[in-house]
Every structure is written in C-alpha cells, then in structure tokens.
Amino acid sequence: GVYLTADCLSEEKRNGTLGLLFLTNLRGYQVVMGKMSVGVIQGVLGLMAAVPMLVVPILMGGVDPVLVLRMTGVMFSTLFLSLSVGLACSAMFKSSKATTGATFGAIFLLNFAVPIVVLILHEFDRSLGRAVEWTAQYSTGAMFVLTLDGGVGAGRGRGEAFTISLWMTLGVTAVSMLFALWKTGRAWQDQAAKPAVDMEASSSVRELRRRALVLDGNPLEWLTARKRLGPVLVWITLLLLFSFMMLVTGGFEVLFGARNYGEESFLFTLWVTAVMFKWWIASAVCDRFRIDRGENAMELLLSTPLKYEDYAQAIRRRLRRQFMWPVIFMLCLIPFMMARSDNETLPVYILGLLMFGVDAWAAYFVGMHASLTMRRPTFSSTIVILKIHILPYAFFFGAMLLIGITGAGGGIDLEGILALWFMIGLVNNSIWVGRACLALGENFRKTAAASISPGS
C-alpha cells in the first residue's frame, strides 16, 4: 500500500487533475475502484508468483496443506489491508510525504500497537499484563503469529483468536475502502490555502530580516529555511523512539546503575535510532528535486543562473539545521553506553559510528541523483534506502551464508565479521556515490534537462 496506492489520489490532487475526472460521467466509486484496481493487479500478480513456493514444503512432506491455505489467506488479507489503507490516506492528504508517512504509520499501528501496549503493561505490572493479553487478538498483526496453530472456522483458544484477528483485518479493509469512497467525492474541490503553523511562527521582524538575508545569498536555501518545525519534529521523534527502545530493552536499568552490562540493549537501541536518522536524512535530501519536479518547477529553475553548488549548499545547510544537534546529542550519550558495556563490544560501537557517517555521506549524493533522474521522484527516497541501507545487509548476509556453507571462514571471530560488514558497506556506498557524481557536478544541467525531457 505504501508503494502502490498511497500516492494514487494525492498525486491527482497535487496536479489538479482529480476534478477533471469528475467532469466526465465517472462516479466517485468508479474513480476509487479504478485506482484500487491498478494496485490490486500489481500486488496480486506479485503475490501469486510467490504462493507456489509455499507448496514446496507440502511436496517435501511434513506440512499440512491447511497450513499453506491459511498462510495464503493471511498474505492476501494483508495485501488488501495495505492497499485499502493506502487508498484511504491518499484520499485524505495531498502531500506525498504525508500520505506515505500516514500509510506506513497506520499499518504499523494496526499490526503492532496493541501488542506493544500489552508488552509495556507487562513490564510495569505482570498481573496487569496477563489480564490484558486477550486484547492482542484484536490486532491485525496477531494472525501472523497464530497462523501456525490457529484455525479457519469457529473454535476455542488460539483458533478463535486467529479468526478474530482475521476478521479484524477484513473489517479494517472494508472501513478503509468506504472511507476512501466517501472522502474522494468531497476532496476533489480546491480548498482555500491555509498558512502552515511553522510559516505563521516565523513572521516576526527578526525572522523576516534573517530570511531576507538568506534569500539574497541563496534562494534555494530560503525555500527550506521557511519551515521551522523540521528540527522540532526530529527532536520529538528522537526522544520518543530512544526512550521507548531503552524502556523495552531495559537499557535505563543498566544506564542508571541497576545492572552492570547492557551492551545488547544499547547497541540495539542505537541501531534503531541510526536507522531512523539515516532514513529521514535520505528523505530530506530527496525533497528539493522531488518537490521541484512534482510541481513542474525544475525547468524554471534551470532557466536561472543557479548552479549545482547552490543546490548542494542548500541541501547541506538544510541537513545541518535539521539533524546536527540531535545527532550530536546521540554522540554524547554513546561514551556513557560504552562505559557500561563489555570491552569486547567497543569495536562494534566504533565501526557503527563510522558506518553511520559513511551512510549519511552516501545518502547525500545518491539522494540528489535519484530524485533528479527517477521517472517517479516520489519514490526516490525509497530507492536511496534500498541502495544504501538495505542492499549492504543483503550482501553481508549472503556472504556469511556462503562462508557458512563452504566453511571458508574457518574460525572467523567478531572482528572479522565486523570488518567484512564494514568493507561491504563501504564498497557498496562508494559504487553508488561514484555513479551519482558522474551525473552531478559539471553534468548537472545536462542530467536535469534529460529528466525533464527524456528524449533530449
């Protein structure tokens, strides 16, 4: 849903073409179902290609065919849930970032919100946690766990819980579709523009004078300097995520002296926080060209004397203004975590910090290149995440699997594994950065012109 339906209606609203569809004899439900069918066809065909692989264990023996049937039903139910939630969010919002973010957040909450609340209550009060465990079956994600020993029809115990979770998924799917049908018929009309909260907050004389100086220096930086809530959102997200991870993993108990060593808690918390930072940085880098191309303003900007250095400087300053102090705050906490960790894990901290810097550096160049050259710049940040943050892990796990099968690694230790992981990430990032730099710099205008007119 995040990729297939989350931006289908909001893109029409941004381009001002959703109202044109209603000038025809199409009804609201026809527009929604037509958009839904495009995502359904792609998703169903892709899932149907994967379903035959589930039958292989049956041919090998030892797997109940009902289990495969149940798993297939769960996969298709999840697919339609994701597509319908994405369509509902697309009918509600206009911005691509807001739509994709709301879709991802809604799916995450539907699957994990209730189990997480139960887990937190169980940590604070075990009796209270056991008393509310039954609420987890009302989560749409419970059916994944209950698929192996649940049932399809009426029953008792886990079979009944699986049925409840499955019906919850189908119910949310139906409600999301009905909401999209209702909202689309009322969302095509242009509404009066309302000033954003962060724009209103920056209307003081001092702030206007500062923005005027920025406008004279670099107009592209002025476009990003108008919004002031960006750093605040990063701080709020960082504090909430860090506190939640430390609470769930027991990191606060170690950090404040209740236990001696807590490297597992610290490293996992830092890894999740670093993933949040790197994915957010990738999205922020892609914003400039993604917005310009989405609003058909790239050609107008190319007609000005602005150079590649002006674009790069504006993006760098935006990243520094939004992420510098939160990152420094996390760096200041790491020495305290290292002091409460085993000495053998110190190389993990050091190489993790180095890889964080390398990934941020690579996301800066690859993000500009992807948002400038992709046919659909809306998904440019996703491509950056796949290239810089997910692909190295795939190579690393593949290399470890190959070493384990062939026995070539012998007695490989922790330092060897860390060195292999770091080198794979460094080589991967260097390749993508080199490819991006060939299209930027002196070739920036040529690359930008080709993205506007592919035949040029």
> Which pLDDT tens digit goes with each residue over 315-335?
888 888 889 899 999 888 888
Confirm if 168 and 109 have CB atoms less than 8 A apart.
no
Q: Nearest to residue 231, comparing CAs of 316, 325, 311, 312?
A: 325
Kindly state the tokens that stand for 172. Answer: 């949310």
- Distance CA(220)–CA(332), nearest Å, equals 32
Q: How many CB atoms are located within 10 Å of the residue 48 CB?
A: 11
- The number of beta carbons lying within 10 Å of the beta carbon of residue 86 is 30
| Residue 421 CB partners (closer than 8 Å, separation 6+) | 351, 355, 392, 396
pTM: 0.72
Residue the block writes with tokens 């994990």:
112
Digit-by-digit pLDDT tens for the chain (456 residues) are 667 777 777 777 777 777 777 777 777 777 777 777 777 787 788 878 877 777 777 777 767 777 778 888 888 888 888 888 888 888 887 777 778 778 888 888 888 777 777 776 666 666 655 656 666 677 777 777 777 664 444 444 556 777 777 888 888 888 888 888 888 776 655 555 555 444 444 556 666 676 677 666 677 777 766 666 678 888 998 888 888 888 777 777 766 665 666 678 888 888 889 999 998 898 888 887 877 777 777 777 777 787 888 888 888 888 888 898 999 998 888 888 888 777 788 888 888 899 999 999 999 999 888 888 887 777 788 889 899 989 999 999 988 888 878 776 566 777 888 888 899 999 999 999 998 888 887 787 887 777 766 544
Between CA 454 and CA 446 the distance in angstroms is 11
Residues 6+ apart with CB under 8 A from 279: 381, 385, 389
For residues 304-316, one letter each, b for 16 or more C-beta atoms within 10 angstroms of the residue's C-beta and e for the rest, the string is: eeeebebbbebbe
Tokens 């150079």, located at residue: 307
The number of beta carbons lying within 10 Å of the beta carbon of residue 410 is 8
**Domain limits, the chain:** 1-189, 206-456
Secondary structure class of 134 (helix, strand, coil): helix
Check residue 432 and give its pLDDT. 92
The answer to whether 350 and 422 are in contact (CB under 8 A) is: no
**Which tens digit of pLDDT belongs to each residue from 150-196?**
444 444 455 677 777 788 888 888 888 888 888 877 665 555 555 54
Task: Let me know the angle formed at the C-alpha of 111 by 105 and 116, rounded to the nearest 5 degrees.
Answer: 95
